[in-house]
Amino acid sequence: MAEEVVIRKIGCHAGEPGCGLRCGLLAYVDKRTGKLLRVVGNPEHPISRGYVCSERVSHMIDFIYHPEQLKHPLKRVGERGSGEWQRVSWEQALDEISLKIKYLIKEYGPECIAIVEGTYRTDLYWARSSFLFAIGNPGNVSSPGTSCSMNATALQHCIFGARTDADILNAKCIVNDGRDFPNSGPLQWHKLMERKRRGDDFILIVIDPCRTIPAKNADYWIQLRPGTDAAIFLAWLNVIIRENLYDRKFVERWSNGPLLLRIDRDWWLTEQDIVKGGRSDRYVAWDKRKRCPIIWDPVRQQFYSLNGEPIPDDEVKVELEGYFEIEGIDGVPMKCKTAFTALKERVMEYPPEKMAEVAWVQKKLLEETARVYATTKPACIQRALPTDQLGRAASSIEVARAMLKILTGNIDVVGGDLLNQPGPIIDGKMFIRDSLLDYQDHVTPEVKKKMLGADMFPLMAWPMFDLIKPHFKRVWKINPCASSHMLGVPWPVLARAILTGKPYPIKCLIVWTGNPAAWAPNTKLVYETLCSPNLELTVVIDRWMTPTGALADYVLPAVTKSLERPYVSTHEDLSPNVVVWERAIEPLGERRDEYWIFRELAKRLLPEEKWREVFPWETLEEFYNWRLSSIGLTLDKAKDLYTISTWTQKSYEQINPETNRPRGFATPTGRAEIWVTIFRQLGRSPLPYYVEPYESPVSQPELAEEYPLILGTGRRFRPQFHSELRQWGMGLREQHPEPLVEIHPKTAKELGICEGDWVWIETKRGKIMMKAKITSDIHPKCINAEASWWYPELPGDKYWWYGNFISNANVLVPDDLETLDPYTGSWQARALLCKVYKVRGFTPFMQSP
């Protein structure tokens, strides 16, 4: 029997029944038929070590062989949304699509094309970006990443020069800000509980409006009002600075806290202000010993005297706090203060007693948890999706959270908040990262200016990217990744461009394994957008027919990574690791991988010399072998390693061979920034602050009278993953058949609602129905509604639209531009105002066929 079966080393990830943690699996495949027989956890995998989510992995065979999986290209033959399709060949589909795109480019320019994606699905985002950049598009790509992790990632690149990830498995103090690990990171929760069972002591502080399983296991649970996380962190900053609990040595040496700001300009005092012929990219600090200004060079990571002499490190003692008067080159004195002083003054505006009232928590709890976090080393802060989805309040939370990491000195240390350094580096050679493949250096300034939304929301657009790029390259000797979702167009901006034709027409959508009908805000406007006659071509590339696909002109079948093709990923260049999986089986039907699809489109749209430059590899396997050869591996050899990593702690202390000095941080000042230079350059606050979500009981008290409850949505729930896995017949919908809304028993009693009742959830934008789940784990003033529900068993025509209006919580979510985060354009899906009431006379029709 063993001779008839081959075992392949694959992985679990979004797009399969899994989440985003990439656990290692073993696929048993029949040698004779090539059919997948079973999938189990891989006990040799260095991270997951055989762990699997049984309710998902055990259904992988039913998933891949489900009869509703798409296997052939489809072309719409009736009206858009009629549900009338014709099977066509790949050659016909690609020829017709390319012919239409050529016409649209000629009439409206290459910027008229936009690509829409879903939650992290692939290791080939560079291919999408290379395709767009090669045809002259500015990178008009929209995804849920704008309100899911990537907005925080963009901000972190400005503050730290890289993304940070919490090392929860080695921390002595873990602050979990809203992550429901058992649902969103089950492997991490499994390992964390293993630590407890081993007696490996750590303190767990959970910040969450809901009493999740982590909250039940916490040493401290802060049950805050939804959307007020910044109030918690600002109060902590207040306590930590006021009580001198910060890591002074780290803040003095590795933050820009000691550097001086000109009060008259709200900008840095630079060398050119005080030295003739000085530079604008060298900064000034105050020498405590000699009582005079000294110059900081971020490239050489060195202080200099005003006459240009380097000052030995052991002789440097800078003032961290205070006001100073320094004579300029014109002889006029300039009043200055340190960046740390600016931060201190800002956070003193947010005392614990004030913030406790804002957040509905006790002042004593805020103060005690601030002290515990600051004095327990190493400590980390686990961020999560909820704070990304707070619209105009989102960035204020991320910035305050980042300041805590800097003040406590927990950056890039085991058990702290790790910097995602580019890598891995083997024998002095770096793995070929996405940033070397994405064709970004060919995008001209004129083209970049056309990127939608860049003028309004610059922190996830070229203005931010071009500011961080030289510093990233200085430290890491490589570009940041332009194909990452750190660079993207907020969906509300894209939708309005389609509907209005402003600032220019968007005529073509390529929707790539994403379902904006389910994930995008304001579902009514999404429907109007996808049905708009302004869209002359919509192409959907997916594994399933979805509500978005139902409104397309062509639907093209894509493979599932690892099950049907290999996978070699640096997680959008945001990880120092490379994950390698082989494929389990050959692609089903006529399904194709994404590289092949974009290469075939490029062949039809670009001159041969250019498309061969962008896509020189004939097959995906050829590309992977070329890429892995950079570190002396092949796909066949690398699959046995599973994960390749060369992360080292305190990367900022590593010696740069070009300067024989430390690398520092990839920021303008070469330090972790508590006064964020790039924010100021882009017209945003360089310091943390508190702002209410656009819609909350405090910001709109009159609206709260009609809609008295606080709505949260977007939280993950198993066994489904966001809008995926709703189909009956693979064993997953059977486990969780209906959409649920959590209501506190006291609230339910007041509203006459019982367990299992169907209820209406209504905001000022519309209403949906869900089934009530009565639980005391939620605050009486709050409800939590599951997100992105649709019903594949209902008709897909534009009248039924797979029931996408019935229970999809994004019907309730605003997308008005003034509600979005001013830094990144993320929208508000949490802390909304709503009311709930019982559905009368309803007989459920959503049931297994």
Cα–Cα distances in Å, from 777 out to 172, 273, 285, 708? 27, 57, 51, 19
How many Cβ atoms from other residues are within 10 Å of residue 252's Cβ?
Answer: 18
Residue 541 pLDDT grade (very low, low, confident, very high; cuts 50, 70, 90): very high
Structure tokens belonging to residue 148: 């899911």
Q: Is residue 230 classed as helix, strand or coil in its secondary structure?
A: helix
CA distance readout (Å), 501 to 23, 62, 495: 44, 44, 10
Q: Please give the structure tokens belonging to residue 737.
A: 């058949």
What's residue 734's pLDDT?
A: 94
Distance CA 375, CA 369 (A): 10
The residue type found at 465 is F
Both tokens of residue 799?
């009248």
The ranges assigned to domains in the chain are: 2-64, 74-153+430-607, 248-344+660-681, 701-838
Q: Which helix (H) or strand (E) holds 127?
A: helix 125-135
- Tell me the pLDDT tens digit for each residue of 756-768: 999 999 999 999 9
pTM above 0.85, yes or no: yes
pLDDT band at residue 121 using 50, 70 and 90 as cut-offs: confident
pLDDT band at 331 (very low <50, low <70, confident <90, very high): very high
CB within 8 Å of 212: residues ≥ 6 apart = 180, 182, 206, 777
Q: What gap in Å lies between CA 79 and CA 92, rounded to an integer?
A: 20
pLDDT value of residue 849: 53
Distance CA 318, CA 844 (A): 70
> Once rounded to an integer, what is the mean pLDDT over residues 393-420?
98
Residues in the chain: 849
**CB-count exposure of residue 280 (10 Å: 0-12, 13-18, 19+):** exposed
Q: What are the beta bridge partners of residue 440?
A: none
Q: Reading across the β-sheet that carries 554-557, which strands appear in turn? A: 85-87, 74-76, 554-557, 537-542, 508-512, 113-117, 141-142
Q: Which CATH class is domain 701-838?
A: mainly beta
Does residue 683 carry a pLDDT above 70? yes
Q: How would residue 846 be classed by pLDDT, with cut points 50, 70 and 90?
A: low
Residues whose CB is less than 8 angstroms from the CB of residue 49 and which lie 6 or more positions away in sequence, other chains included:
41, 43
CB 417 within 8 A of CB 411: yes
Average pLDDT, rounded, for the chain:
95
Each residue's pLDDT tens digit, 357-373? 999 999 999 999 999 99
Domain 74-153+430-607 fold is Rossmann fold (3.40.50)
- pLDDT for 813: 98
Please give the CATH superfamily to which domain 2-64 belongs: ADC-like domains (2.20.25.90)
**Mean pLDDT for the stretch of residues 55-61:** 83
Q: Which residues contact 169 (CB under 8 A, 6 or more apart)?
A: 188, 191, 192, 195
How far is 398 from 280, CA to CA, in rounded Å?
28
What are the helix (H) ranges across 477-631? 491-500, 516-519, 523-531, 594-605, 608-614, 620-628
Instruction: Tell me the per-residue pLDDT of 483-539, one tens digit each, with 9 for 90 and over.
Output: 988 899 999 999 999 999 999 999 999 999 899 999 999 999 999 999 999 999 999
Cis status of the peptide bond prior to 739, with omega within 30 of 0 = no
State the chain's maximal CA–CA distance in angstroms.
Answer: 89
In SS3 terms, 439-472 reads as CHHHCCHHHHCCCCCCCCCHHHCHHHHHHHHHHH
Residue type for 239, please? Answer: V
Residue 716 — φ and ψ, nearest 5°? -70, 155
